Amino acid sequence: MPVVLGIPPAIMQLVQQGLLERAFHDGLYPNLAYRSEAMAEEWPANTGGEIFMSRPGLLAPIVKALIPGKDPDPQAISYEQWVARLDRYAGSIDVHMPTSVVANANLFMRNIHQLGLQAGQSVNRIVRNQMFISYLSGSTVLTVSAGAGDTTIQVAALNGFADVVVPGTNVRPMPVSPSNPLPITIGTTVRNVVGFSPNDPTDPNGPGVLALSAAVGGAGYPARTAVLSAYRPTIIRTGGGDSVDAIGGGDSFVLQDAINAVAILRRHNVQPHDDGFYHAHISPQANAQVFADHVFQRLNTALPEHVIYKEGFIGTISGILFSMNTEAPEPVNAGDRVATGTRAFYSNGIGAETTNESGTNIGRIIVTGKGTVYERWLNEENYVSEAGITGKVGDFDIVNNGISISTERIRLILRAPVDRLQDVVSAAWSISTCFPVPSDVTASTGPERYKRGVIIEHAL
């Protein structure tokens, strides 16, 4: 019988019959592309934890001649602000160095590698969620039928219904209240939201109750009726419709949806990115669906040797640079799910439903122009005082499956052992940052609060 000399459980799991290869192989890892959309700006030190960024609205063009002898009337400029709130994100892992030394491969270095992968994916998810929460705001459905006399309604998501910016009234986003009402449409009825209450206080964007300024009226509305904010961003749904329930299993993404999205951005005077293109982040499923689009097929008739068919990827077309993004939100990666109907589910990562009442899973593409999202980051070297540090601080340089992982501005911290035997080294990553999404509610091209991106919803 072999003698076991107190080998830790982590090592026992690596022991097997036969030869154990002295290396770790890279696991599957998603593409990280959302963070590349952010325009990075450093957060000045000693300026507090919030920055309010202001934007003036345009003065309306004057096309009527001045009446002789009359002075021009004074004009007022509308302003708006959006807020950047600095947060810190971090992850850590402890490494038992005696274990790492006797293992067949270097657990210490591999743990740092895995921390780098986690850091890159985490920051990418953070910016993704901020973009989708903003551009999916103001569009939801009733989860319970609303009677004619009801002054409160229950909805699948409070995202976009809890605060309001009214041009010429308030500059900064204000919580909805009787003095700051938010106009909405329930079915065909127009009412004002004057209060809200989330079902889960830890998720202010999730399912909850909206208080109305007046009763619903009429004959009321059944569950799953669309509830829409007057300032909601534009959402294109393949096949049309005013809520996710309009999407059926056969509503696949088509190229015309992306062309329509770019037309909307151009109408709002949104400029393309510095590379000259609008960007569309699509999932592998959406990319496959467009190859079944009859318009796309006719466009590429008799071009089997074209690079699009050789690579099986849309690439660049109609002024749009498509990026394959395996982090595109869907039921498996959009956060914790909450039932909002018989078969419908809400996901807290993006503040919207990812499965509709018919059980159809919803895929989402975001088409962006310049300035869709910012990154405001604080240099964490400012955290180091004259007392110094216990260990080392550096940067990640991570390559996985031959692809360099984006870890800019993420610190790697190695803490020297502090236990009695000095066996345990703590490795951690840290970043102080935020990803504010600017609003354009004062722009004269429409009432939408956010205008620099358009989301396309389709069936998965």
List, for residues 282-302, the tens digit of each pLDDT value. 999 998 998 888 877 777 665
Which amino acid is it at 193? V
Q: Quick one: pLDDT at residue 285?
A: 93
Average pLDDT of the chain to the nearest whole number: 87
Lowest mean pLDDT among 155-159, 166-170, 452-456: 166-170
Whether the per-residue pLDDT at 262 is higher than 60: the answer is yes
pTM of the model: 0.89
Higher confidence at residue 262 or residue 79?
262
pLDDT for position 323: 87
> Which among 159, 128, 129, 162 has a CA at the least distance from the CA of 141?
159
Query: For residue 327, what pLDDT band results from cuts at 50, 70 and 90?
Result: very high
pLDDT digits (tens, 9 = 90+) for 375-391: 999 988 887 776 677 77
Can you give the pLDDT at residue 13? 61
pLDDT at 420: 81
What is the percent of the chain with per-residue pLDDT over 70, rounded to a whole number? 89
pLDDT in tens, 179-204: 999 999 999 999 999 999 999 999 99
pLDDT value for 9: 62
Q: How confident is the model at residue 20 (pLDDT cuts 50, 70, 90)?
A: very low
Show the tokens assigned to 136: 């999916």
